[in-house]
Chain A
Amino acid sequence: MFEYTSGYSQELFPKENKNSGLFELSVEAGAGGSYYSTKPNVPLHLETNVSKISEAFSFRINWKTDHRLSISVESGLIKFYSYTINSKNAEGDLKISAIPLLVEFAMPLTKKFQIRAGAGSYFQTTELNYLGKVRSNSVGLGWIAGGSYSLFSKDNNSFYCELKWMDSAESQQAIMVLQLSYKYTFFRW
Chain B
Amino acid sequence: MKRKFIAIIFSGILFTSCEKEFTALVPENNWDEFTAAGTSPLSDSIGKRIEGVYEISKGDAMFGGSVALKWVWTIENSDTVYTLSGFFEKDNSYFIASGRRTDSIILVNGYYRKMVNTETGVVRLKIEYEKGTLLISDLSKPIGSDSIIITGNFSQIGTELDSLQFIYKRPLRDDSNFLILAHRCGGRTSDLLPAAENSVNMVLLSTKLGATGIELDVRMTSDEVPIVYHDETLNDRLIQPNGMMGNIANYSYAQIRDLVRLTDGQTIPSLREILDVVLLQTSLRFVWLDVKYYGSLQLVYEIQQEYLLKASQMNRDLVLLIGIPDQDVQQNFIALPDYLNIPSLNERYDEIINVNSNAWGAPWSLGVMRPEIESLHSIGKKVYVWTLDSPAFIEQYVSENIYDGILSNYPCKVAHSYYVGP
Contacts and interface: CB of A to CB of B under 8 A. Distances in A.
A19 interface: no
Interface stretch (B210-218, B238-246, B357-365): B238-246
Nearest to B242: A43
A89 B265 CA distance: 19
Specify which of A43, A96, A135 lies most central, judged by the most chain B CB atoms within 10 Å of its CB. Answer: A43
A94 B243 contact: yes
Contacts of B332: none
Contacts of A89: 254, 258
29 contacts: A41-B240, A41-B243, A43-B240, A43-B242, A44-B240, A45-B265, A46-B258, A85-B259, A87-B258, A94-B242, A94-B243, A94-B244, A96-B243, A124-B245, A126-B243, A126-B245, A128-B251, A130-B255, A130-B259, A131-B252, A132-B252, A132-B254, A132-B255, A136-B247, A137-B245, A137-B246, A138-B233, A138-B246, A172-B241
A44 B264 CA distance: 12
A134 B243 contact: no
A35 interface: no
Given A42-B242, A45-B265, A171-B245, A136 B259 contact: no
Interface of A: 40-46, 81, 83, 85, 87, 89-90, 94, 96, 124, 126, 128, 130-132, 134-138, 171-172
Contact of B251 (A41, A46, A136): A136
A96 to B, nearest CB: 5
A136 B255 CA distance: 13
Nearest to B247: A136
Interface residues of B, number: 21
B261 interface: yes
Interchain residue pairs A-B with the least CB separation, the first 6 = A136-B246, A41-B241, A138-B245, A136-B250, A138-B246, A43-B242
Specify which of A89, A126, A136 lies most central, judged by the most chain B CB atoms within 10 Å of its CB. Answer: A136
B222 interface: yes
A40 to B, nearest CB: 7
A81 B242 CA distance: 11
Nearest to A124: B245
A132 B222 CA distance: 11
B75 to A, nearest CB: 25
Given A131-B252, A134-B255, A172 B236 contact: yes
Given A40-B243, A43-B261, A171-B245, 4 more contacts: A41-B243, A94-B244, A126-B245, A138-B246
Interface in B18-41: none
Nearest to B240: A44
A134 B251 contact: yes
Contact of B259 (A43, A137, A138, A172): A43
Specify which of A44, A46, A83, A131 lies most central, judged by the most chain B CB atoms within 10 Å of its CB. Answer: A131
A145 to B, nearest CB: 13
B246 A126 contact: yes
Nearest to B246: A136
Specify which of A45, A87, A172 lies most central, judged by the most chain B CB atoms within 10 Å of its CB. Answer: A45
Contacts of B233: 138
B201 to A, nearest CB: 16
Contact of A131 (B241, B250, B258, B265): B258
A168 B245 CA distance: 13
Contacts of B243: 40-42, 81, 83, 94, 96, 126
A127 to B, nearest CB: 10
Given A131-B252, A132-B252, A136-B247, A41 B242 contact: yes
A142 B203 CA distance: 37
B6 to A, nearest CB: 13
Given A128-B244, A136-B247, A172-B241, A45 B255 contact: no
Interface string B217-234: 000001000000000010
Nearest to A171: B245
Interface string B361-394: 0000000000000000000000000000000000
A111 B407 CA distance: 66
A42 B242 CA distance: 4
A41 B260 CA distance: 11
Nearest to B267: A45
Interface string B295-312: 000000000000000000
Contacts of B260: 43
Given A45-B265, A134-B250, A126 B259 contact: no
